[in-house]
Structure 1
Amino acid sequence: MTPPHDSVRETYILREAQSSNVLPLLETFKQPGGRLVLVFPFMPYDFDQALQKRMLSKEQTRSCLKDLFSALAHVHSQGIIHRDVKPSNIMLKSLSGPAYLGDFGISWQDKAPASEPADTKITDVGTTCYRPPELLFGNRKYGSSLDLWAAGCTAAEAMSSDHETLFDAGDLGSELALIQSIFKKLGTPDLTVWPEAEQFHDWGKMQFYEYEPQPWSKLVPGASETEFDLSTNKQKSSIELTRSTRELVLRLATEEKPNPKTEEELARNLAQMKIMIQGTPEAEVSPEVQEALVREIESQDLIILLADNIYKFPFESRKDTQVIFSTAFRYKPPGANAPEPPVLHNVIRYRPEVIISLCKGYDRRESAMPCGGVLREALKFDAIAALILYDEPTPDGKVRELSTIDPGVPSTGQGIFWRFFDWIDKGAFEVSADAFNTFRVVNFTLFFEKYNDVLVQSESYVTKRQSIKLLGEILLDRSNYNVMTTYVDSGDHLKIIMKLLRDDRRMINYEGFHVFKVFVANPNKSVAVQRILISNRDKLLRFLPTFLEDRTEDDQFTDEKSFLIRQIELMPSAPVPTAGQAS
């Protein structure tokens, strides 16, 4: 193999580049004479052949391009530059895919054997029509943008109805002819639009005619409007992305009516941010990119802006924002040993208003579900639960810092936690359901009175049933023993629960039964509870045997009901105070 091809380097890089869309290396062996042979699986088609013979549908073409960019995202995350991306190096297992990026013969990785130094790479790489202008002007410090240019040329060729190469180097493959073709189609650049060119070895040695850029509809005939949009959607760096997003959110916040252009640009930013921070099923996230983005999100104080204004975002953007939030809250840089992820730690310590703002997302239907999803992620940490539970209004309107909270001071009932009752009881269905899911995550003790009055006795069937079910789960959880004993000591609580047994809705009866059994099974019943059960003993013994008697296949329910009947039969004729109780 002649330079720049190198089989040993290719073997090394292929093992580093293994992924679902890189052509797998099966084995290697040496022939007599020392020639290294690389063995790959048989692929019946390549992308170039399939395009030229019109063998692919639009959907199949898009699938192949998706696989190509997934492969590039992976190899670039490994510090690998392919250096020869083109349709004939994309192999197809079938016309419906999957597609694999192959031929790593001239690829580069800094640590790979026989790779040139990073600042003096060779420029004799790539196939003529797919070579970027930076190579043609002598840039030897190039990076993965080399592959992305070639991949863009490949995508344009695939989207075009005639499948001709986007640029033309003439019959002789002339570099000058290729430069002229690029400039005639994209416009002749100057240092205003291409400032990096000033550093290239061969820039400025020739004067070029100043061509105007041609529209993409002419460059790629037959492509759809959506495909044109994709071709002009330049990826931004972490700094550009967060700054641009901040500006767009501030603009959206001040506009009386939604501006479609602002919404569209913001949607693109958030979609890109989501991919950078989370990755995709096909391509893993780059740790360096993820860390840089999280750092810039904090630097731009973007979290509070997103929390305050998420309700104004388009639907898909709200979902993307939820992913960005949740991933940032979970993110721990390599080697970090702190119990709390850095972003969440800083929110707790310096920006607690973010959590309160997320809670207020339940004020609006549009923001309820994404804010709820983020809150449930954050509530895995006790400090977040404390911020919500102990929130109180302050004279200056600022959110209380965690260090100033005194758990011994009784709540006024005016903090953010207490608003969950109204969100659950009076909100639209999706708001109520999501608020309830978040509400059940918080550990709480001193809220029974409002819980019973607003939720357990709600007019809403869904609220009533879910509240009773949650109450049963709380009381039966061993970690909530003190909560359980406090609740089941109250005769007033027992009266409320007994009314549920006579409700005309069977699932209310069933959920109420699971709370009622805790009162009856408690071996240390309060005098108030004993008095109610004893005074109603005869009625209960007549009522319980036929209570939900059609649940014949529910053996556990039948056994529990029999147990309760026996416990009520065995109760004394008058209340008996237990140790520490007044008569």
Structure 2
Amino acid sequence: MKGLFKSKPRTPADVVRQTRDLLIYVDLQGSSRDAKREEKMIELSKNIRELKSILYGNSESEPVAEACAQLTQEFFRDNTLRLLIICLPKLNLETRKDATQVVANLQRQLVHSRLIASDYLEANKDLLDLLVSGYENMDIALHYGAMLRECIRHQSIARYVLESENMRKFFDYIELPNFDIASDASATFKELLTRHKSTVAEFLSKNYDWFFAEFNSRLLASSNYITKRQAIKLLGDMLLDRTNSAVMIRYVSSKDNLMMLMDLLRVGTRRMCGGRSRTYDGSVSSPGRFRCDPRRDTYSRKS
């Protein structure tokens, strides 16, 4: 008789719905530590782990496209992503890692040839503000940072972050005393400024004055060796990209910028000179520039 009453296997959509219900419960319960809440937290961790298994597969099976599509559709049908991001600080470390991987995978899932994650984020852009502000919380900074980098794979989402006030905050985050968080913020900053070429070129053209004023004074002039080195490499990546040719010409046409680059070349260590030389080589090969003589430290307009 027992065989007649076996529970029906849960579908991917069922797992998402139950996860959403548990997230709502956790969100409403706050930080209480009663037995019922602990039981729900354990169940939530199992559900998130199951979502991860459906999306990534496991040691016994590969992910099934139809199951992934069902999961993705249900996940973005309601506010499961919002709930997961909001509740992330309340989850234990392993569950946070699983949740981060789930969110990352969902950004790449196609449903009827569409990235519906992008559509959802465009309608809920405040979530990007929340992810960026995560760098101010040591407990969740790396998880939110990883989620953010996956979200800005979508060009429209990257454009939103670039054009928002959030972009200015990265100069603060990159200088945070916590090395891991500062490095993660730097990785996100680089991704924003290199992934979507046309969007980056538009951003740099429109925001040239304030952006490079901050970049030069805070990153290139940083007393932190790693910050300065990463900034030099990023500057080279930006200026030497063909889509940023107009920005490069404007940058290297500034006597102050060239003097700064020359100073970096003169006082830098051998390991840092590679990135600097690449940037400098770009400056001396562009039209309408100042000519620099590194042996004499002199600058003159090219005739």
> What is the TM-score when the length of structure 2 is the normalising length?
0.82
Aligned AA for 1:539?
A: R
Q: Which residue of 2 aligns with 1:489?
A: 253
Q: Does the 8 Å contact 2:23/2:83 carry over to 1?
A: no
* Alpha-carbon distance, 1:504 to partner: 5.2
1:514 match: 278
Match 2:296 to one of 527, 539, 553: 539
Q: Is the 8 A contact 2:171 2:218 kept in 1?
A: yes
Partner of residue 296, structure 1: 74
The answer to whether the 8 Å contact 1:248/1:266 transfers is: no
Query: Which whole-Å deviations, capped at 9, do the CAs of 1:166-221 have from their partners, x for residues lacking one?
Result: xxxxxxxxxxxxxxxxxxxxxxxxxxxxxxxxxxxxxxxxxxxxxxxxxxxxxxxx
CA-CA distance at 1:257 after TM superposition: 7.4
- TM-superposed CA distance for 1:473, in Å, is 1.5
Match of 2:180 in 1: 430
In the superposition, relative to structure 1, how do residues 455 and 318 fare at CA in structure 2: closer, same or farther (>3 Å)? same
Aligned partners of 1:241 and 1:273 also within 8 Å: no
Tell whether the 8 Å contact from 1:497 to 1:512 is kept in structure 2 after alignment. Answer: yes
1:460 aligns with 2:224: yes
1:197-346 superposed matches below 5 A: 237-251=15-29, 254-255=30-31, 261=39, 263-333=41-111, 336-338=112-114, 341-346=115-120
Determine if contact 1:503/1:509 at 8 Å carries over to the other structure: no
> Contact between 2:49 and 2:95, CA under 8 Å: does it hold in 1?
yes
CA distance in 2, matches of 1:425, 1:471: 17
* 5+ long unaligned stretches in structure 1: 1-131, 149-235, 392-414, 541-567, 578-583
Relative distance call for 1:248 and 1:460 in structure 2 (3 A) is same
**Conserved? CA contact 1:246–1:300, under 8 Å:** no
Q: CA deviation at 1:427?
A: 4.6
Per-residue CA shift, 1:424-473, capped at 9, x if unaligned? 11251111111111111122412111111111111211111111111111
Task: Give the alignment of 1:346-365 within 5 angstroms.
Answer: 346-348=120-122, 350-365=123-138
Which residues of 2 match residues 355-504 of structure 1 at below 5 A?
355-391=128-164, 415-442=165-192, 443=200, 444-445=203-204, 446=208, 447-503=211-267
User: Matched residues in 2 for 1:271 and 1:245: separation?
Assistant: 14
Question: How many corresponding residue pairs?
Answer: 284
Letter in structure 1 aligned against 2:173: W
Matches within 5 A, 1:157-236: none
Query: 2:3 aligned with 1:134, yes or no?
Result: yes
Would the alpha carbon gap of residues 493 and 537 (structure 1) be closer, same or farther in structure 2, given more than 3 Å must change?
A: closer
Q: Distance in 2 between matches of 1:464 and 1:448?
A: 14
Letter in 2 for 1:436: S
* 8 Å Cα contact 2:27/2:87 also seen in 1: yes
Moved over 6 A (4+): 256-259
Deviation at 1:383, TM superposition (A): 0.3
Cα deviation, residue 262, structure 1: 5.4
SS at match of 2:62: coil
Query: Matched residue of 2:58: which SS?
Result: coil
Deviations 1:535-569 (A, max 9, x none): x66525xxxxxxxxxxxxxxxxxxxxxxxxxxx9x
Distance 1:489 1:255, change over 3 A: same
Alpha-carbon shift at residue 316 of structure 1 (Å): 1.1
SS in 2 for 1:437: helix
Query: Could you say which structure has the greater relative contact order, defined with CA pairs below 8 angstroms and 6 or more residues apart?
Result: 2
Is contact 2:121-2:157 (8 Å) kept? no
Q: Select the structure of larger CA radius of gyration.
A: 1
Does structure 1 conserve the Cα–Cα contact (< 8 Å) formed by 2:262 and 2:294?
Answer: no
State how far apart, in whole Å, the 1-side matches of 2:102 and 2:222 are.
36
The residue aligned with 1:165 is none
In 2, distance between residues paired with 1:486 and 1:256?
Answer: 57
Q: Answer whether contact 2:52 2:98 (CA < 8 A) is retained.
A: yes
**Which amino acid in 2 is paired with 1:360?**
S
Distance change >3 Å, CA 272–CA 434, structure 1 → 2: same
> Which one has a larger percent helix, Structure 1 or Structure 2?
2
User: CA contact under 8 A between 2:239 and 2:279: conserved in structure 1?
Assistant: yes
Partner Cα distance (1:257, 1:432) in 2: 33
- CA RMSD across the alignment: 2.9
2-structure distance, mates of 1:495, 1:489? 11
Counterparts of 2:169 and 2:65, CA distance in 1:
39
Calculate percent identity across the aligned residue pairs.
Answer: 26
Segments of 5+ residues of structure 2 without an aligned counterpart are 193-199
What SS does structure 2 have at the residue aligned with 1:327?
helix
- Alpha-carbon distance between aligned partners in 2 of 1:481 and 1:360, rounded to the nearest angstrom: 32
